[in-house]
Amino acid sequence: MNFEDYRGVWVFVEEKDGAPAPVSLELLGAGRKLADKRKTELAGVLIGENNGALAKTVLEYGADKVYVYDDPIYRFYRTETYMKAMLDCVEKHKPEILLYGATSTGKDLASAVATDLPTGLTADTTQLDVEEDTGLLLASRPAFGGNIMATILCKKYRPQMATVRPKVMKALPRQEAASGEVVKESLPLREDDIRTKVLEIVRSTTRHVRIDEADVIVAGGKGLGGPAGFQVVHRLAEALGAAVGASRDVVEAGWIEHHHQVGQTGLTVTPKVYFAIGISGAIQHVVGMQNSGLIIAINKDPAAPIFQTCHYGIVGDALTVVPMLTEAFLSA
């Protein structure tokens, strides 16, 4: 493998409701810094249908170039079609670094692409840097329950690939007059050759803000006593326009679905504000929320470990305190 052939920093740009997903804009911001340090170009890779306007947005958020695969076959995300497009692009244009958001789509695509390329993938990173002279990507992530930061290197192969957690990097301000190159790519894919078919998209009927993208999370634990007590969490979240999080014990008890679970075996979140209500603060929970901007804990036990992690703590019965807080926010 000749490293000289591999140039540029790339970001897989995920689409969400007709616009680039917030994590993709964050990665364009992070990618810009890496590309500038390495004195190379930053490119976005856009795969979808009718994505011309999105390509312009990618340039406005810092990319020098955007590779576009625009075809009805990419209308819905499917591992097979997106993987084929990404592999085609990588083989043709050879990036030195390729970043994906650590979303369900990004994680799925990155791991599929990694199985087909002779390279590795660093998952769930929270810090990125690059060696100016060698181009070696320094991809760091918490390890051993968040007790150390591990920096993972891919010394022998290119491209160097990583998934990056949402909300840890900063997007650049939009430059509406930005210029850059849109490179149209195509691949002769036929629907008959694709094994997976999307028959129907059924939108979730529950009104919920995704916890990995929320600025405010109200999370509840076993201390709320049961599904009826857990309603105080929903009401506070609704008053604040926040997402609802939960401990594993609550999810296992069936009070709420798994995609609300925060922690080692759930999602890692970094909102601006995190309420931990009736949550003891077990290490497996804390590793998933400890980097939140402001942590407010409500627990009736003054010795609960969560008080070691929070910025503000209220010792009291959540079933009394939380409705009072909700009232206060609603009348503020």
Identify which of residues 181 and 257 has a Cβ nearer to ligand FAD in the complex: 257
Q: Which is nearer to ligand FAD, 171 or 287 (CB)?
A: 287
CB of 218 to ligand FAD, least distance (A): 14
Question: What is the chain's length?
Answer: 332
Return all residues near 76 (Cβ < 8 A) that are at least 6 apart.
198, 201
CB of 209 to ligand FAD, least distance (A): 19
To ligand FAD, the closest distance from the beta carbon of 317 in angstroms equals 4
Least separation in angstroms between residue 300's CB and ligand FAD is 4
Quick one: which segment of 34-42, 78-86, 178-186, 242-250 binds ligand FAD (CB under 6 A)? 242-250
In this complex, which beta carbon is closest to ligand FAD, that of residue 288 or of residue 313?
Answer: 288
Name which of 146, 207, 180, 223 is nearest 57 in CA terms.
180
**Structure-token match 């109200």, residue found:** 218
Burial bucket for residue 235 (CB in 10 Å: 0-12, 13-18, 19+)? middle
Cβ nearer to ligand FAD, comparing 213 with 249:
249
Q: Which of these, 42, 3, 34, lies nearest to 155 by C-alpha position? A: 3
In whole angstroms, the minimum distance from the beta carbon of 17 to ligand FAD comes to 28
For the chain, strand residue ranges (E) read 9-13, 15-16, 19-20, 42-48, 65-70, 97-101, 121-125, 127-130, 137-143, 148-152, 160-164, 181-185, 216-220, 243-246, 273-277, 294-299, 312-315
> Among residues 186 and 320, whose Cβ is nearest to ligand FAD?
320
Q: How far is the CB of 172 from ligand FAD (least distance, A)?
A: 33
Q: Which is nearer to ligand FAD, 25 or 322 (CB)?
A: 322
Q: Which residues, 263 to 322, sit near ligand FAD by CB under 6 A?
A: 263-266, 278-280, 282, 284-285, 288, 298-301, 304, 317-319
249 scored as a contact of ligand FAD (CB under 6 A): yes
Residue 93 or 259: the one with the smaller Cβ distance to ligand FAD is: 259
Cα separation, 61 vs 55, in Å, equals: 10
The dihedral sign for the CA sequence 119, 120, 124, 130: negative
Strand duo 148-152 + 137-143: pairing: antiparallel
**Using CB under 6 A, which of 27, 121, 154, 250 touches ligand FAD?**
250
Residue with tokens 């897989």: 12
Scanning residues 195 to 234, which ones bind ligand FAD (CB under 6 A)?
221-223
Shortest Cβ 266–ligand FAD spacing (Å): 4
* Alpha-carbon distances, residue 122 vs 79, 117, 139, 160 (angstroms): 19, 14, 7, 8
**What number of chain residues touch ligand FAD (CB under 6 A)?**
28
Q: Which residues bind ligand FAD (CB under 6 A)?
A: 221-223, 247-250, 261-266, 278-280, 282, 284-285, 288, 298-301, 304, 317-319
